[in-house]
Amino acid sequence: MMIMASTTKLNMKLLVDTKREKVLFAEASKEVVDFLFHLLQLPLATVVKLLTTKGAVGCIGNLYQSVETLNDSYYLQPNQPKHFLLNPKIPLSSPLISALLPPNGGGGEGQSESIPLKLYRCGSCSNYTVTDLYNSKCSACGFGYMAREVKYISKNDQVKDSSFNSNGFVKEVVTYTVTDDLVIEPMSTISCITMLNEFSVKDVGVLKEKVVELGMPEGVKLLRTSLQSEMVLTNVFLKNSENTSFHLL
């Protein structure tokens, strides 16, 4: 899989317990939280492509490869092309969020967009029941066939300019904390003190601040690690990390 380069970078401040070599939590902006929430929107097939079929968790990669190698002319329904399964459409919450993952689920340039949904109604009666199964028999009149295409306007087409599609998920008025196991909450002094108590931190001298960048490589690593570990930030930003520095609090 070829991952295309991206210049989009976001910053996060990590609070690191240097004695245990563990990230306690991160101070994250709206954009970082939007990206993490965006991972919940990714279709399973897209996740498999991003992680590559061999790197996917369990045997789900085999399922993806089975569809890839299946002869669609012989075995797939005519209204169910491979594209629907292998390249599902990803909701676009904001251009910035999407720029942190490879385009088209990591398929590279030249990969086509998702095929628009086509709906059909009976050409022999006035019943307006529709189906996506072309040329199927009409259940209303019993003799006509569902072959007359009708226009379908998706929700995304109707709300392209809405705040939901352009401004991500969360508001900009606060900063957020993201724990090592990706629990996200609005940041407050009380919540930070509570977390330090939960982590049994007795000596604040072992705590250091580390500023890291979140770009496309880190975005893919976050996705992969979130499916494999409960120490996501530690594994992505501390283990084998380079070009980052600690700062005294």
Q: CA dihedral in degrees (149, 150, 156, 160; nearest 10)?
A: 110
The residue ranking higher by pLDDT, 245 or 100, is 100
pTM of model > 0.75: no
- For residue range 188-213, what is the model confidence (pLDDT) as tens digits? 999 899 999 999 998 989 999 999 99
Among left, alpha and beta (phi > 0; psi -120 to 50; other), residue 203 is: beta
Q: What is the pLDDT of residue 46?
A: 87
The runs of H, that is alpha helices, within the chain are 30-38, 44-51, 60-69, 72-75, 82-86, 95-98, 155-158, 163-166, 189-198, 216-226, 232-237
| Cα 13 from chain centroid (whole Å) | 22
- For residue range 127-175, what is the model confidence (pLDDT) as tens digits? 888 988 888 889 889 889 998 888 877 655 554 444 444 578 888 878 9
Q: What is the pLDDT of residue 52?
A: 77
